[in-house]
C-alpha cells in the first residue's frame, strides 16, 4: 500500500499531466482558429472589403473587446511608454500591415496557397534572429531556408498550375507577411514589458494594429468599409474579430505557460488547419505541385523547429 507521500507525488504527477494535456488542447485550438483567418480573408476579398479597411476594422473591434475584458478583470489597462511601444510595433507587424497585404492577395490566389506563407515564418525568425545575434545560424537553418526557397520556386514556376494568371506576383507580395511575422517574433522578446498580462498584451497589440492600419489607410486614401451594395460584408468582419480576439489572448497565454519553443509547434498545426478550412469552405482543388510545395515547406519548417536552440 503506497504511503501518503507517494500518493501526494502521484497526485502531483497527474496534475502536471492534466496541465500538459490542457496546454496541448489549447495549442491545437489556437491553430485551428488562426488557420481560419485565410479563408476569412478570401471572404473579405469577395465581399469587396478594402484590404487596409478590413485590417483596421477587425483589429479595432477585437482590441476593444479584449481591452474591456482586461479592465473588467484587472481594473485597468496598462498604457506606459514601454507598453505603447510594444503595442504599436507588435500590432503593426502581426496584423496591421500583413493582414491588409493578405486580403489584397486573396483576390488573386486560393486561400490554401496563401496558407503556405505560415511555413516560412519559423525559418525567417531564425534567420532574422541570427542577424540580430539572438540565434545561431547552423546547417539545419541553412537547409531549411533552401527547402523553403524550393517550395516557393515550385509555386512560382510558370505553367505549374498552382497559381493562376498574374498570381505569381501576388504570391511574391504575400511573402512579405511571413517576414513581418518573423520580425514580430523577435520583437516580442525585446518589447514585452515585464509583468504584462496576456489579456493586456493581446488587447494592446490589436489596438496598436488598428492605429498602424488606420494611418496606412488614411495615407493611401483607402475607404474603411466596402461599398454599400456589396453583399456579405458583415460575416467576414464578425469572423475575423472573433478569431483575433481569441487567438491573440491564447498566443500570449500559451507562450507564458509553455514557452516559445513548444508554442512554435503551432506553425505545423496552423498550416494544416488553414488548408483544411480552405478546402472545406471553398471546395478548392489544388494542383498536384501544390502538395510538392507543401511537402518542401513543411520539411523546411521541421528543420527550423527541431534544431537545438541557442
pLDDT digits (tens, 9 = 90+) for 58-71: 999 999 999 998 88
Tens-place pLDDT, residues 268-309: 788 888 888 888 888 877 777 888 888 888 888 777 767 665
Report the percent of the chain where pLDDT is more than 90: 18
> What does each C-alpha distance from 282 to 39, 40, 254, 279 come to in angstroms?
8, 11, 31, 6
For 22-177, strand residue ranges (E) read none
- Tens digits of residue pLDDT in 101-119: 888 888 888 878 888 887 7
Residue 92 makes CB contacts below 8 A (sequence gap 6+) with 208, 209, 212, 213
Q: Give the contacts of 28 (CB within 8 A, at least 6 positions apart).
A: 269
Nearest to 235 by CA among 23, 6, 40: 40
Per-residue pLDDT, 215: 92
- What CA–CA distance (Å, rounded) separates 267 from 122? 8
Return d(Cα 154, Cα 289) in angstroms, integer. 7
More confident residue, 13 or 215: 215
- Please report the sign of the dihedral spanned by the C-alpha atoms of residue 95, residue 98, residue 101, residue 105: negative
pTM: 0.76
Calpha distance 231→106 (Å, rounded): 17
Instruction: Please count the other Cβ atoms lying within 10 Å of the Cβ belonging to residue 219.
Output: 9
- Cβ neighbours of residue 282 under 8 Å, at least 6 residues apart? 39, 42, 110, 111
Res 61: pLDDT: 96
Q: Compute the CA torsion angle 161, 167, 168, 169 (nearest 10 deg).
A: 170
pLDDT tier at 146, thresholds 50, 70, 90:
confident
Give SS3 for 75: coil
pLDDT of amino acid 230: 66
How far, in whole angstroms, is CA 237 from its chain's centroid? Answer: 17
What the block records as the C-alpha cell of 185 is 517574433
pLDDT band per the 50, 70, 90 thresholds, residue 181? confident
Amino acid at each position: 500500500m503506497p504511503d501518503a507521500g507517494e500518493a501526494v507525488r502521484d497526485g502531483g504527477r497527474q496534475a502536471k499531466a492534466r496541465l500538459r494535456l490542457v496546454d496541448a488542447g489549447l495549442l491545437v485550438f489556437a491553430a485551428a482558429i488562426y488557420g481560419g483567418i485565410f479563408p476569412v480573408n478570401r471572404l473579405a476579398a469577395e465581399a469587396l472589403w478594402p484590404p487596409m479597411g478590413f485590417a483596421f476594422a477587425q483589429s479595432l473591434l477585437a482590441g476593444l473587446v479584449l481591452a474591456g475584458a482586461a479592465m473588467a478583470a484587472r481594473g485597468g489597462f496598462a498604457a506606459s511608454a514601454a507598453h505603447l511601444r510594444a503595442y504599436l510595433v507588435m500590432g503593426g507587424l502581426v496584423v496591421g500591415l500583413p493582414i491588409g497585404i493578405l486580403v489584397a492577395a486573396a483576390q488573386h490566389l486560393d486561400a490554401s496557397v496563401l496558407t503556405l506563407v505560415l511555413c516560412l515564418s519559423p525559418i525567417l525568425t531564425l534567420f532574422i534572429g541570427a542577424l540580430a545575434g539572438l540565434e545561431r545560424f547552423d546547417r539545419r537553418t541553412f537547409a531549411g531556408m533552401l527547402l523553403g526557397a524550393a517550395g516557393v520556386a515550385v509555386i512560382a514556376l510558370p505553367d505549374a498550375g498552382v497559381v493562376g494568371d498574374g498570381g505569381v506576383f501576388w504570391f511574391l507580395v504575400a511573402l512579405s507577411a511571413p517576414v513581418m511575422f518573423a520580425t514580430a517574433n523577435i520583437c516580442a522578446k525585446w518589447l514585452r514589458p515585464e509583468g504584462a498580462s496576456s489579456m493586456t498584451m493581446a488587447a494592446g497589440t490589436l489596438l496598436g494594429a488598428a492605429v498602424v492600419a488606420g494611418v496606412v489607410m488614411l495615407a493611401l486614401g483607402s475607404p474603411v468599409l466596402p461599398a454599400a451594395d456589396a453583399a456579405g460584408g458583415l460575416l467576414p468582419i464578425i469572423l475575423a474579430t472573433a478569431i483575433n480576439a481569441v487567438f491573440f489572448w491564447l498566443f500570449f497565454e500559451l507562450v507564458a505557460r509553455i514557452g516559445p519553443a513548444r508554442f512554435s509547434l503551432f506553425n505545423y498545426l496552423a498550416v494544416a488547419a488553414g488548408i483544411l478550412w480552405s478546402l472545406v469552405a471553398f471546395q478548392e482543388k489544388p494542383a498536384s505541385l501544390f502538395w510538392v510545395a507543401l511537402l518542401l515547406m513543411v520539411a523546411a519548417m521541421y528543420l527550423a523547429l527541431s534544431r537545438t536552440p541557442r
